[in-house]
Structure 1
Amino acid sequence: MSRSLRIGIDVGGTNTDGAILDPSRSSDPGRGILAWTKTPTTPNPSQGIASAISALLAQVPANENANGGDGISLANIASVTIGTTHFVNAMVERDARHLSRVAVIRLCGQFSKHIPPCVDWPDDMRSLVLGYHARVRGGLEVDGTPIADIDEAEIREQCKEIRKRGITSIVINGIFSPIDITEKQEEGAARIAKDEIPGCHVVCSKDVATLGFLERENAAILNASVLRFARKTIKALEEAVRVLGLACPTFITQNDGTILSVQAAAALPIRTFSSGPTNSMRGAGFLRELDQPGKGSVLGSGPVVVVDIGGTTTDVGLLLKNGFPRQQMLYSELSGIRTNFSHPDIKSIGLGGGSIVRKNPLRVGPDSVGYMLTEKALVFGGDILTATDCAVLLNPDLSIGNRALAVGAVTDEELEQFKAIVKRKLEGIINIVKTSPGDLPVILVGGGSVIAPDMLEGASSVWKPRQSGVANAIGAAIARTSAIVDTIRSTETKTSQEILDAVTQEAIEKTIATGAASGSVEVAEKEVIPVQYVANISRFIVRAVGDFDFARTTETSTSSQAGYLGTTEADDVEQPRELVTEEPAPLHVPEPPCVDVHTYKPDVRRRVWYISETDLSWISTGCYILGTGGGGSPYPQMLLLRQLLRSGAAIRVVNPRDVPDTATVGSGCGVGSPTVSVEKLQGDEMMEAQRALYQICEQQPTHMISIEIGGLNGLQGMTLGCNMDLPCVDGDWMGRAYPTKWQTTPVVFNERQPIWSPVALSDGNGNVVSITSASSDLQVERLIRAVLGPLGSLAACADPPVAGAEMKRWVVEHTLSQSWRIGRAVAKAKASNRLDDVAEAIIDECGGPQAGGVIFKGKIVSVNRTLRMGHVYGECIIEAAVLPRGDEGDEVSHESAESGFRGRIKIPFKNENIAAIRIPGGSKTGDNEPEEQENVLAIVPDLIAVIDAQTGEAIGTPEYRYGQLVSVLGLAASRKWTESSRGIQLGGPEAFGLGHLEFKPIRNFALPISVIDEFDDLVE
């Protein structure tokens, strides 16, 4: 037997599973699975791993059918691959013994100065981990040119401070570092840190995650915090393998279903945090082939739904055609911390073999006896009725425990109810994961799969492999190696396809460098995403995978990796736990106690609304929904304002009707690309632009107002007002988000032309541009777009002030109040676990059915985008579905009459959603006859908002992706837009190239109720 056997081990919280595979026999009936085992996980994981491997090795010689009677020698083992949850558990459990203090050096200049590291972390975790932070010169623009070169002396000075505090784990985070192909910035700073602090661990953020400055930094800090523990643990895992006499390489599985060398895993343990579910999914795909020999490969025949039923939860994911789990896009939370590292898109429900079954009425879960199943379940002599007990009673052939001990615990009728509940729960979560209504193969794995039925609606077939209980170990054994290139490139001189080809080759070479055999590498993923408001710039993402080339690995090179994994001085030092930070009190003011969302009242005194953190959170949620798909996420701006509140500042809001006619009302906004805004977090550029403008205007504002309520600019009026100690007006110039400056109500009224001149722009990096005069507001827009490129594709813009009397005529009133009410509706739905009704609750807060309605509910099944003139145009297709209800166990079904919606709709967008149009071939609600023509359900200037059906939060057009469950809301636009032909012309279909479609109001506009009017302390 050649050196080709692979051992897979998965260390779970309860059991350590193992399997031995011979890939050379994958075409045999047994698919080369020589042995498998399940042993209890030990407090010392290395002992459990050693026991599992020993048990595996002991099985093989006795199984002559498996190995042809040849037996097995240690020299036959080519690799040991281990999946473990130990690193993520240290994070979840807030284990101070395993988490190191971390220092953060940002290469950002003045950007992000108001949003320090860990600002959005839970207090206990932040206090445990963050030890020091500093900002120094550096960072890149979106096109890769430096904002500023790093300053070696500046970095050395900060390292001296870090060394003084005894911190040995350091994160370097630079603006747009993931696109740095020169490796001069983060890598250069890392070399300086290692030279200044011998033995320290340095994590470059670009090695951990991709675009998203705060989220990437969060992931890098988590990674750095667990490094010391990871090095020791991985060294112990490898020693467990060596003790058995194995001289093969050891690998660790990572989140995307591929392997890391122990060196890479010791440097990037965060990449292993979600490897457990991924291993199960990969193993499930392999096992399906085992049960269906000769009927085609599941990995090459299309997507498959994998249902992993454990003791407490059921985890469900989609195994793609390329054989790897679908990865979660955008952001995910880990232990209450927002991150953006690669993570499988897994949906979970509280259903497992240990789920507690209660009667009158019959309920299954979500609570569970968990790892105590063999003590607590009836069939094992316990006194708690569990799902496993019911499964044993339903299937006498199951050899689990003593069936007689459970007889009589439930009636036949109750057992039928149990079957129906389990079936409904599984069908619901499966349909949530699917990206189209067609049936897909379903593979059931995990120890709790015995509770699942053999047939499920929405499944073309249901498979329960014989070795399903150790699918995770099998998945580890078959793991491949991979690499990903995620970068932003200019398309000015080369076509997108030429650049994509070059990036693809780069990904292939990178995969080979990780150890893949060159002939085995294939591309698993390709994507090109245009960057909004930036000409000739696109984001390219390519992932490649391949089989590890064991021929390149010699015994000498793999028998000892202690040169990398051996403990260092930094590993052995017990770090002091006191907290020292660059900026004192504001970051560590305790968060306010949780409020009762049902009884909370805002602080309104003498017609002034004093914004609290609760108000701010709700307004932020509402602003993104009113962004109608555009405007960018308000999240970073909300964090900035929250920091101002925690430092003692006041945010004041006044009713527009209370503003004197003689007042001077100023405004400001961010202009440019939302992609850039997630990297270049706001510094002082807003105030720099304001100061430049008022040098031209020679007058100072008395009030501030937001130019648009939709998206992150919806908070800019409060930000400027807070910084300038001025009240902010409860209103804006759009009542939503629009892509251009001329799509504002002052331009609609056209009382003076142009209204938006002069303006001043600042890029926050020392460059200020003033446009003192322009021929029209359209020309102002063109001039701003023309200078955005040299300003880094993102700038702060200060707009000329208007008189209080003008503001009252032009303003869309009470939109901060409207945002607050929308956010409150979402918060109430979450607090009451009634997200199934959140869309209707939002409509109720915006005037009720006479002012708007829920247009559609369903699942996104198609998205396409293209970049034209700096704007991202595209179209989203949504298919009707009944969405999950909190009281029905996560069910979702397609084309059900219960939904009230049928067929499909399309939503064309130009940064923001333009329309909601029923596609021909669907049918109208309550009708049996199919439509023959497109039917416009809503169109601009009315508001079309798409929200996540499972969270109630807004989904921006850049975030649209396949499989999302959504509700589509339509709200009547302000009469400031609809009462004049000019308003319809500027904000309606014609302005978006849809002049062939007629605007018909969805409902009648309802003026939002002022928070100030309702809650003023003078109101009796």
Structure 2
Amino acid sequence: MYRIGVDVGGTNTDAAILDISALETDSRGVLATCKTSTTSHVTLGIQSAVREVLARSKVDRSKVLNVAIGTTHFVNAVVENDARRLSRVAVVRLCGPYTRKIPPFADFPYALRNIIEGPAFYLDGGLEIDGREISSLDPVQIKATAAAIVEAGVQYVAVVGVFSALDQNGLHEERCRNLLQQFEPGLSVVCSGQIGGTGLLTRENATILNAAILGFARKTIRGFRLAMSKLELSCPLYLTQNDGTLTDAAVAAELPIKTFASGPTNSLMGAAFLQGLDHGDQRLADKQVVVVDVGGTTTDICSLLPSGFPRQAPNFVEVGGVRTAFSMPEVLSIGLGGGSRVRRSEDDGRVTVGPDSVAHRLTTDAMVFGGSVMTATDIVVASKAADIGDYDKVKSIPEHLIAGGKADIKRQLDRAIDKMKVSSAPVSVLLVGGGSVILTEDLDGVEECLRPPHHDSANAVGAAIAKVAGEVDVIEILAGRDEIAAIEAVKKAAIEAAISNGADERDVKIVEIKKIPLQYVTNKATRFVMKAVGSLRVKDEAVHNGVSSGILDQEQEADMNMAQEAMKAETTNVQKGSLAKPTLGVDIANYRPRVDNGVWYISPIDVQLIASGAGILGTGGGGSSYLMALYTLGILRKAGQGTIRVVPLESLKDDNTCVFGAGYGAPSVSDERISAGTDVFAAIDAVNTIMGIKDFQGIVADEIGGGNGLVTFPSSARYDRPVVDCDLMGRAYPTLEHGTPYIYGQPVLPFATADCKGNASVVLAAESNKRVESLTRQTCIEMGNSTAAAGRPLSGKVIKDYAVPNTVSQAWYLGRAVHLARESKIDFIEAISSITPVKELYIGKIVDVTRDISRGYTVGRCIIGPLSAEEQDDTLSPSSTRENRESRYLTIPFQNEYLSAGFISQFPIPSSSSADDDELEEEIICTVPDLISILGSDGEALGSPELRYGLKVRVIGMPASPLWTGSAEGLRVGGPEFFGLKCRWEEVREKGKVNGMGVGEYKRPRSVIDEFNVTT
């Protein structure tokens, strides 16, 4: 019995046929492979490729068990903004009073949004983090919504429930879908719980894209079935998914987004299979395997996990400029392939390969085939490392060009592979793809480089041998439960899902377990992601998916012909709009903020810059500023929403009143149960009501770091009052105790917390600020672990005396420096240092990250290792000195925020030591209250949840305000003692001055208002 695999790429369509009884032989059961050009009528290309392998193998077609197809058609429709293949989508949020702060489609590129945006509805429903209902479903609401969707002329619907990962019984999303279709049977509804995990906006975005492509996916898959019918194949049809497993064609037609990245994954899975690594080979446990797939234009690189499946991308994946959260392999693509052009610089004689390519014109344009373009293939043939085309046509290529070209190919692959490493273990590279002949040199840091048999058709083989998976992504409340029993229940659910999807129950096993504790929660809410995998069940493969006779009725034939016409349109009439997001889009160097008569009027550009700067000042914590920036941008774009303005600290009068309002609670909750935006106002109003305050003159941020650095802006628009250019921390800190006025004895009470359901609680009296924090935290838990908070308004004199000045400006300048550095191709550390005191503490690569939840906070340690000489030359700016090229490792503990930075002499740390061991020698070079930020290669700050192995980073330190360092109380609350660190700030700072590692002295941040003010 046989299986056929097909991989449809942009240039070629590959096919392979395998004998499943010979999978353990040296040939791995591969009977025949072929490569044909992808046609505008995609089904014709599939037919041609499959017909060819059937002819070469001479197998009995009745013994073909299944056909598995991998395709990029669906993702291409999104990336190309093709209005002919995308449909409008209505969004139904089950959220009660929440999530209105950021509407659906808020962060979609304009061109894509204009094509697919439909109406949005906010209905009762959704869950709290502890499993309680936010509110019960209302069938009357749902009936009215169904009618409104049909009246708007929309057929496709995305249903998104808050904390759908907790809704394991389908009480909300699935019931809502059933009711919508009961009231309006013509609606096609996608539930977000089928698509992704936590993070409402990214999961919703993925659900919207799935719904938008639904109509085209159904037609496309009917077209695939038509191709099988034309070939007289009556076996089942499957599509390959992003994770390298199979899904039934009928399921793929409803969840096409899960096939978006199947192409690179097919190559990875095929390479592992052809090399014999599909049986849990011991080599997978001892080393890491990186698959390098070299095509004609690009090289795709993936890492293979010990489970035999690809490493999944962290956090979120951008598809067509849209942030999405669903299972996608992490693939690095570089512009290097067999058709890459080879050039020699006239200035320095350097030889470069790519990134541009002759692509499918290789056989006509390359020199070995009589063309005039020197390609990577020509270089390899000229070196006599490959026998392709006519050697005589390239034998005259100078030796220095050959050597330089081969060196550049090696350099590019060395760096790309290094980026995809998952650990410091030895590396084995599986080299596949038709262009893999261009690699002729040994790679640095690679123990072995293997070319498996049939390596040029690994993608089609990967489709043919794909297994079946069942994945469960749920949140379990573990408080008061047997954790082992809970884990076993989730495992069982994953195994049952795999069997339901068609896996053979005899060999299903769990291959992946992720346990992710949620921050700040006390009920031990834990996210589990588990995957079970098994072989495709043979006994059920006699089911013929409606084409067993090989004959289609007239209606099916007509529908499938329509599908082919739709697919033909891929090469014509594609609406390619700008993918630009509603963000910068300006010349940063010449941009001037609007400051009139001492008042700074915030623009969308300013919001983007401040968001980037607030991330740096967040020092690893504070939550992402992304959602708050989207919220603020939405306010600025709506007419009649009021202006947002900032005034200087000095403009306050002593008797003025300033209020505070901030987000309070767990970022993991606020990212899912997004606020309606009313809770901050409710908390401010509660305190003002109790104190009898009728009016106020300014709004001040509790902390400038992270999302709270922008939370004052919506309040400015709501109350028509200015934000004062200052904050109460000068950074991010984890508790309300860390407000600068409070450490100097100013009152924090009354202190209010409020949610979006009309609940508000006020602490009127407490024995200490620490007790205020504990009482408020308990209230926050009762309100669902994400609330707003507001403290006692303070006078203008107090704010002038005890707030950290010009920090809104500081965030703006930091963000401007980073964006300007990217725009101007200059070093972003130098750009930052030009506007604020900063010390570059380290340049390196993350080699280890450990995390845990302690007292509700995420605590952990990140270890960063030195770069190689070549990596340093590529990463450092020309003016960087040897002191940046530290040979020791840097260790950074964090409690949400980064607490200290210190050198250790070796890694891994000997087993006799631990992170808390006094014997672990660590030279602390920076510690709180000074600011420590970890920046990625683009200059944007990395929060502690985003740290992972392999990232090249630059660590900076900035001096804290004298409000923290100039008094014993400031150091007690904001310094190492508060966080249990075994060091003293004074000693670290003094030692830094001596050895040149000090972060320098604090300098009052520049003022945007002073610099750009225009007086009229």
- What TM-score does the superposition give when structure 2 sets the normalisation length? 0.91
- Deviation string for 1:36-78 (max 9, x for gaps)? 11111111111111111111111124xxxxxxxxxx2123222
State the alpha-carbon separation in 1 of the partners of residues 583 and 33 from structure 2. 52
Return the letter of the residue paired with 1:404.
D
1:42 aligns with 2:27: no
State the alpha-carbon separation in 2 of the partners of residues 93 and 21 from structure 1. 34
- Deviation string for 1:948-1000 (max 9, x for gaps)? 22x32222112222332222221111111000111110011111112455552
Deviation at 1:466, TM superposition (A): 4.0
1:817 aligns with 2:809: yes
- Deviation string for 1:660-701 (max 9, x for gaps)? 112111111111100001112221111122222211111122
State the alpha-carbon separation in 2 of the partners of residues 647 and 142 from structure 1. 32
Instruction: Say if 1:313 and 1:350, in contact at 8 Å, map to a contact too.
Output: yes
Pick from 714, 721, 744 the counterpart of residue 719 of structure 1: 714
| Residue of structure 2 equivalent to 1:583 | none
Return the letter of the residue paired with 2:650.
R
Pick from 28, 50, 58 the counterpart of residue 31 of structure 1: 28
1:980 aligns with 2:977: no
1:860 aligns with 2:853: no
Instruction: Say if 2:288 and 2:421, in contact at 8 Å, map to a contact too.
Output: no
Deviation at 1:499, TM superposition (A): 2.1
Please give the residue correspondences for 1:122-161 in structure 2 after superposition, counting only pairs within 5 Å.
122-161=109-148
Deviation at 1:914, TM superposition (A): 1.0
Pick from 689, 698, 702 the counterpart of residue 703 of structure 1: 698
Please give the residue correspondences for 1:340-359 in structure 2 after superposition, counting only pairs within 5 Å.
340-359=325-344
SS in 2 for 1:94: coil
State the alpha-carbon separation in 2 of the partners of residues 903 and 733 from structure 1. 36
1:433 aligns with 2:426: no
Please give the residue correspondences for 1:563-574 in structure 2 after superposition, counting only pairs within 5 Å.
none
1:781 aligns with 2:776: no
| Residue of structure 2 equivalent to 1:186 | 173
Please give the residue correspondences for 1:154-173 in structure 2 after superposition, counting only pairs within 5 Å.
154-173=141-160
| Residue of structure 1 equivalent to 2:489 | 502
1:592–1:624: structure 2 CA closer, same or farther, 3 Å change rule? closer
Instruction: Say if 1:174 and 1:185, in contact at 8 Å, map to a contact too.
Output: yes
| Residue of structure 2 equivalent to 1:990 | 977
1:589–1:350: structure 2 CA closer, same or farther, 3 Å change rule? closer
Please give the residue correspondences for 1:525-924 in structure 2 after superposition, counting only pairs within 5 Å.
525-535=512-522, 536-555=524-543, 559=547, 594-648=585-639, 649-683=642-676, 684-699=678-693, 700-750=695-745, 752=746, 755-834=747-826, 837-847=827-837, 852-882=838-868, 900-921=885-906
Bigger shift: 716-725 or 981-990? Answer: 716-725
Instruction: Say if 2:338 and 2:436, in contact at 8 Å, map to a contact too.
Output: yes
Return the letter of the residue paired with 2:966.
E
| Residue of structure 1 equivalent to 2:291 | 306
1:403 aligns with 2:391: yes
Instruction: Say if 2:27 and 2:453, in contact at 8 Å, map to a contact too.
Output: no
Pick from 55, 59, 73 the counterpart of residue 58 of structure 1: 55
| Residue of structure 2 equivalent to 1:67 | none
Return the letter of the residue paired with 1:853.
K
Deviation at 1:592, TM superposition (A): 7.8
Bigger shift: 419-428 or 961-970? Answer: 961-970
State the alpha-carbon separation in 2 of the partners of residues 569 and 476 from structure 1. 26
- Deviation string for 1:913-950 (max 9, x for gaps)? 11112224379xxxxxxx9821112111111111222x
Instruction: Say if 1:8 and 1:81, in contact at 8 Å, map to a contact too.
Output: yes
State the alpha-carbon separation in 2 of the partners of residues 883 and 673 from structure 1. 41
Instruction: Say if 2:275 and 2:453, in contact at 8 Å, map to a contact too.
Output: no
Instruction: Say if 1:630 and 1:737, in contact at 8 Å, map to a contact too.
Output: yes
State the alpha-carbon separation in 1 of the partners of residues 272 and 156 from structure 2. 39
Aligned structure 1 segments of 4 or more residues deviating by more than 6 angstroms = 565-575, 883-887, 896-899
Instruction: Say if 1:672 and 1:795, in contact at 8 Å, map to a contact too.
Output: yes
Deviation at 1:824, TM superposition (A): 1.2
Return the letter of the residue paired with 2:808.
L
State the alpha-carbon separation in 2 of the partners of residues 439 and 897 from structure 1. 29
Q: CA RMSD in A?
A: 2.8
Return the letter of the residue paired with 1:315.
D
Please give the residue correspondences for 1:363-512 in structure 2 after superposition, counting only pairs within 5 Å.
363-395=352-384, 398-408=386-396, 410-512=397-499
State the alpha-carbon separation in 2 of the partners of residues 296 and 496 from structure 1. 31
Instruction: Say if 2:240 and 2:262, in contact at 8 Å, map to a contact too.
Output: yes
SS in 1 for 2:793: strand
SS in 2 for 1:933: coil
SS in 2 for 1:550: coil
| Residue of structure 1 equivalent to 2:70 | 83
Deviation at 1:457, TM superposition (A): 0.5
Return the letter of the residue paired with 2:1007.
S
1:572–1:194: structure 2 CA closer, same or farther, 3 Å change rule? farther
Bigger shift: 675-684 or 378-387? Answer: 378-387
SS in 2 for 1:518: coil
Return the letter of the residue paired with 1:386.
T
SS in 2 for 1:6: strand
Please give the residue correspondences for 1:267-282 in structure 2 after superposition, counting only pairs within 5 Å.
267-282=254-269
1:388–1:503: structure 2 CA closer, same or farther, 3 Å change rule? same
1:891–1:713: structure 2 CA closer, same or farther, 3 Å change rule? closer
State the alpha-carbon separation in 2 of the partners of residues 120 and 12 from structure 1. 29
Return the letter of the residue paired with 1:857.
I
| Residue of structure 2 equivalent to 1:585 | none
Return the letter of the residue paired with 2:692.
E
Q: Tell me the matched-pair count.
A: 968
State the alpha-carbon separation in 2 of the partners of residues 795 and 160 from structure 1. 34
State the alpha-carbon separation in 2 of the partners of residues 646 and 560 from structure 1. 56
Deviation at 1:797, TM superposition (A): 0.9
| Residue of structure 1 equivalent to 2:252 | 265
- Stretches of structure 1 that go unaligned for 5 or more consecutive residues are 62-71, 576-587, 924-930
Pick from 501, 505, 511 the counterpart of residue 518 of structure 1: 505
SS in 2 for 1:789: helix
Pick from 5, 9, 12 the counterpart of residue 6 of structure 2: 9
1:117 aligns with 2:79: no
1:725–1:333: structure 2 CA closer, same or farther, 3 Å change rule? same
Instruction: Say if 2:292 and 2:301, in contact at 8 Å, map to a contact too.
Output: yes
Instruction: Say if 1:825 and 1:841, in contact at 8 Å, map to a contact too.
Output: yes
Instruction: Say if 1:231 and 1:567, in contact at 8 Å, map to a contact too.
Output: no
State the alpha-carbon separation in 1 of the partners of residues 473 and 953 from structure 2. 28
> What is the percentage of aligned positions where both structures have the same residue?
41
1:735–1:568: structure 2 CA closer, same or farther, 3 Å change rule? farther
Return the letter of the residue paired with 2:274.
L
- Stretches of structure 2 that go unaligned for 5 or more consecutive residues are 567-578, 909-918, 990-997
1:1007–1:496: structure 2 CA closer, same or farther, 3 Å change rule? farther
SS in 2 for 1:856: strand
| Residue of structure 2 equivalent to 1:321 | 306
State the alpha-carbon separation in 2 of the partners of residues 956 and 344 from structure 1. 22
State the alpha-carbon separation in 1 of the partners of residues 473 and 439 from structure 2. 40
Deviation at 1:394, TM superposition (A): 1.5
1:941 aligns with 2:929: yes
Bigger shift: 312-321 or 838-847? Answer: 838-847
1:568–1:789: structure 2 CA closer, same or farther, 3 Å change rule? farther
State the alpha-carbon separation in 2 of the partners of residues 590 and 636 from structure 1. 14
State the alpha-carbon separation in 2 of the partners of residues 81 and 660 from structure 1. 73
- Deviation string for 1:405-443 (max 9, x for gaps)? 3343x3111211111111111101111111334430111
State the alpha-carbon separation in 1 of the partners of residues 149 and 894 from structure 2. 48
Deviation at 1:299, TM superposition (A): 5.3
